[in-house]
Amino acid sequence: MLPIKAVRLQLGELIAADATTLAPPALANIVRLVMAAFAAEENLVVADLTFATFDGSTALAAGLGTQQVGIDPVTLEQIVTIKEPAGGWRFEVTGATNLPQTIFGYALLTDGSAALLAVNQFLEPITLSAIGEEINLGTLKFTIVPQPMA
């Protein structure tokens, strides 16, 4: 069965406001860079990932509470945008520890990295080798498609 639009649109609203996943009222979700190759698939767990260790790779905290929800007017996909921290989703190399380091993607996790909520794999890995280099993730969002491809 294909859910009708009104039902589908409730999915984004519900998950964006769910206090046990994307909308914790305290102890913010975090984003961490991943420094080992991985396959982005829905059965991953925290132990499947190796997190970055360069100076400046400290996890960034997402905004608390209900996340932002909207609909792309062109694709009609529902978008759940993760609230960004002050300064955005930007990781900058601040020292020479553990360089060079290749980054394969990033993960959204619960506070303390207790549970994995989402991952994103870069199209091409990014190698950091010098102080001042950065990775800026831009906008972090989930996309709920209007109708699965057949």
Residue 140 lies in a domain: yes
Residue 49 lies in a domain: yes
What are 100-115's pLDDT values in tens digits? 999 999 999 999 889 9
The domain in which residue 28 lies consists of: 5-144
Residue 112 lies in a domain: yes
CA gap 105, 86 in Å, rounded: 21
Residue written as tokens 């190399």?
A: 93
Residue 149 lies in a domain: no
CA gap 62, 30 in Å, rounded: 6
Residue 150 lies in a domain: no
Give residue 81's pLDDT. Answer: 97
Residue 77 lies in a domain: yes
Residue 124 lies in a domain: yes
Comparing 98 with 142, the larger pLDDT belongs to: 98
Give the total number of structural domains in the chain. 1
Residue 21 lies in a domain: yes
What are 82-92's pLDDT values in tens digits? 999 999 999 99
105: β partners: 34, 121
